Structure 1
Amino acid sequence: MTFQERLFQLRKQKGFSQETLAERMGVSRQAVSKWESGLSNPDINNLVFLSEIFEVSLDELIKGEAPQASEKEETIKIVEVPCSRHYEYKSRHHIGGIPLVHINVGWRGGRFKTHFKAKGIIAVGNIATGLISIGLISVGLFSFGALSFGLLALGGLALGLMLACGGMAAGGIAIGGVALGVFALGGLAVGMFASGGCAIASHIAVGGYARGHIACGDIARGVRIIERHISGSGTVIDSEMMILAIRQEFIGMWAPFREFLIMLYGGW
């Protein structure tokens, strides 16, 4: 039996399509098709990975022969050289054709591979897309990951339509080392309303260095400068001056939102 025939046989035994095997291998479907048709052969790393997926030795995979007892230990050593792990789970229950839970995580050669993708209501994967998503790269309504995008996003780099928290965060409300948002809070905060070590805002800025229409800080630049005072609890804003400035400078602002700002900044 040729290698091509053996590969086809093992794939069918596992119930894999060429596309499924290609996804697990991190190669294109065309590559698998060429292996099975004899137009090309996988390299040694892919051969080892194939042997792990089909749970056979390299001899069984290439020659179609089971290893002799004396050769078994040596064969196992060869198979274990690459550090490869993969786990996938899909729940039986679906909503709108999407699994309730899909977990698809793994790595190969000690590195995470982006072709392990999870898509579900709850998705966990190297790349995850779902209502609630957790992954190296995650996209969802509630998103958690090194790179996360969603309505509510938490991650090293987070982009959230409503709330974003991360080392670098951008969103309606952004909290992070570097924060960009309508309301921004961080070491470097930029937005309409910003608070942080360095705060730059179009409306109100509060921070060590503050630059905005209304500014309050150790170093403040703006149309209206609000002083800070030292008290027993630390440095506090002159609340009366802040409230007065908000009412005078934002006369045309929607009244309920202006009152919210007074409540937010007037109590500092």
Structure 2
Amino acid sequence: MENRKIGAFIAERRKESGLTQQALADRLGLTNKAVSKWETGDGLPDITILPALAENLGVTVDELLAGERRPKTPEVGEQTRKYLEDRAHRRQVVGLLAVAVVGACGGLLRTSEWLYWVMLIVSIAGYIGVHVYFPGKEPLRRRVLFGALWGAGMKGLPFVALYTSWMRGQIADGSTPKAVIKDLVIDWYEWTGRSFELGEINQRTTQIMDLITTYYRLLLVVAWILTMLLGMLLAFLSWKVQHKKSPKIVSKN
């Protein structure tokens, strides 16, 4: 009897919120069959789903378990409003910090390579944390879209870091990519027994450098796409962790 009362209350609040069973299920990371079972009284939500379910339905957990609305005092309403505002503020702060760390990574490439990687890992951890510990009620596709934007903001920084590390090693050895290519061109002319002039060597070197620059820019585009995919993957995983299944409430009929 209690299950049916709770189920009817869930169905009523869902309809008043303008949600379909599928839409509510998407927000909770479940199937519409699970929502249907709740509303028909054939089962109850998981314990860990209750806070998110109550938030989506615009009620408290106590009201959800009671299967009916309860009168709220102004103090309780104000506390609830402050709690929601505080949680939203914390989510924004952590999100901005994660983005700031990503931005700082680019500047660290010129100073310390190992510090860059540490900051990059911290940024990824912060990105996951902001969704797991300060969860919202957005559906999976919106979370993945946000992840893609976050990844795009990284602009392929991990791959740029590898190239920068190689460049730093070349400069430490007293050489530059252009100097290395020029030496290779001279070696090739000598190996083939062809005569050459300095102007011709410089011209060939410039042509090869232009070709390498073109490929490098293409590599950056590929790196940018890969980091977008990384952001989408992290978004998907964080959403799954947030909505992972847990033992269900056992009701006695």
Question: TM-score by structure 2 length?
Answer: 0.45
**Structure (1 or 2) with the greater helix fraction:** 2
- Structure of greater relative contact order (alpha carbons < 8 Å, 6+ residues apart): 2
